[in-house]
Amino acid sequence: MKRPRVIVTGGMGFIGSAVVKKLLNLNFKVINIDKLSYAANLERVNEFKYFKKHYFYKTDITNLKKLSLIFSKHKPSYVFNLAAESHVDNSINNPKSFIDTNIIGTYNLLLETKKLHQKKHKIKFIQISTDEVYGDLNKKNQGSKEGDAYLPSSPYSASKASADHLVRSWSRTYGIKYNITCSSNNFGPFQNEEKFIPVVIKNIISNKKIPIYGNGLQKRNWIYVKDNADAIIRVALKGKNNSTFNIGTKNDFTNLSLVKMIIKILEKNFHNFKNINKLINFVKDRPGHDVKYKVNYFKIQNELKWKPHSNFEKSIKDTIEWYLEKYNDN
């Protein structure tokens, strides 16, 4: 069966590259658009060049002229928008880059999608969002549902919420087809070292303090990146048009308990790591820090028969081993 062409923006990023790899293994023709920022996985650049159906464009999605040329040439059937500024701390210090990429960039992609749609080309827009758009949950709330109101707390989550609203408005106004996915916190190999789990592992390896905001009791839900990539593609191919799907797991941990789990795995499995708990360092909490994120993912389980396949403890151990190898080689 001939597979359609797909555009993936941010396809050299952490989640984006996982989506690209799975699409290539499913024999899709993938047009990968990425500006290769500091967060790009350069290892993936070398890996993907061996796939004949992979076409890479070093392009910023804020560059409408270049996007227009790419869309006109390849005429994709799906657009997976994973290009995003995503680190909350950075959004507090420099919100403009988040507005530019996450809102203006999405707007540009929607413009090009609309052009093809108005020429009767069959196309679907897949917007990759986050659980953070729903905002802070109270202790009794067992998970945000797809119809819940957006209550973003940070410039990052506000920019993603804005992009989601643009996507929905483009469907209502211009008739384009879309899906939105809101996933919980991703982890796994290739994640940028500014993120929580890589920071913990790298600091332990370097015998540096492990910074934990506030009291460390902020609770997050965690999903292995391969599971998220699988869910995103299933939503695109099988999800009801013009609907949102939450993607989550049962892996709920406070930041402090997750750090202690990583420490336990290191001390149990790697003999050169001892007495790591002394590295835990509680620091001043960041502004507007949400206490709890969690999504209710019953809809994707029920409608699309999806569930996460990865065992959390094995996946976190595999992730630790990957970073140990990476940092010991440097």
Is residue 1's pLDDT more than 80?
A: no
Residues of the chain with pLDDT > 90, as a percent, come to 84
Q: Return the CATH number of the domain spanning residue range 5-188+223-251+291-310.
A: 3.40.50.720
Is residue 118's pLDDT more than 70?
A: yes
Tell me which amino acid residue 5 is: R
Q: Residue 181: in which H helix or E strand, if any?
A: strand 177-183
Average pLDDT over residues 265-284: 90
* Region of 120 on the Ramachandran plot (φ > 0 left; ψ -120 to 50 alpha; else beta): left
Q: How confident is the model at residue 304 (pLDDT cuts 50, 70, 90)?
A: very high
Is residue 281's pLDDT more than 80?
A: yes
Orientation angle between helical segments 106-118 and 155-174, nearest 10 degrees: 10
**pLDDT tens digits, 70-98:** 999 999 999 999 999 988 888 999 999 99
Report the candidate in 127, 236, 117, 130 with the shortest Cα–Cα distance to residue 173: 117
Tell me which amino acid residue 53 is: K
Alpha-carbon distance 43 to 36, whole Å? Answer: 12
What CA–CA distances, in Å, run from 119 to 23, 68, 95, 114, 256?
A: 26, 14, 36, 9, 53
Q: Return the pLDDT at 290.
A: 84
Burial of 329 (0-12, 13-18, 19+ CB in 10 A): exposed
Beta-strand relationship, 54-58 and 243-247: unpaired
Contacts of 85 (CB under 8 A, 6+ apart): 91, 97, 98, 101, 102, 156, 159
**pLDDT tens digits, 199-250:** 999 999 999 999 999 999 999 999 999 999 999 999 999 999 999 999 999 9
Alpha helices in the chain (DSSP H): 14-25, 42-48, 64-74, 88-93, 95-98, 106-118, 155-174, 196-205, 225-238, 255-269, 298-304, 312-329
Q: Return the pLDDT at 330.
A: 58
Is residue 46's pLDDT more than 70?
A: yes
Residue 27 is given by DSSP the state T
**pLDDT tens digits, 147-160:** 999 999 999 999 99
Q: How confident is the model at residue 8 (pLDDT cuts 50, 70, 90)?
A: very high
Terminal-to-terminal C-alpha distance of the chain: 44
What does the block give as tokens for 170? 């483009």
Q: Return the pLDDT at 140.
A: 67
> pTM of the predicted model, to two decimals?
0.95
Residue 189 is given by DSSP the state T
Domain ranges of the chain: 5-188+223-251+291-310
Contacts of 264 (CB under 8 A, 6+ apart): none
Is residue 329's pLDDT more than 90?
A: no
What does the block give as tokens for 107? 């707007």
Residue 7 is given by DSSP the state E
Q: Are the beta carbons of 143 and 295 closer than 8 angstroms?
A: yes
User: What DSSP assignment string belongs to 244-257?
Assistant: EEEE--S-EEEHHH
Residues acting as catalytic residues: 131-132, 156
Tell me which amino acid residue 190 is: F
Q: Return the pLDDT at 237.
A: 98
What does the block give as tokens for 181? 């996915």
Backbone angles phi, psi at 149, to 5 degrees: -65, 150
Alpha-carbon distance 85 to 92, whole Å? Answer: 12
Report the candidate in 139, 136, 169 with the shortest Cα–Cα distance to residue 150: 136
Is residue 139's pLDDT more than 70?
A: no
Is residue 49's pLDDT more than 80?
A: yes
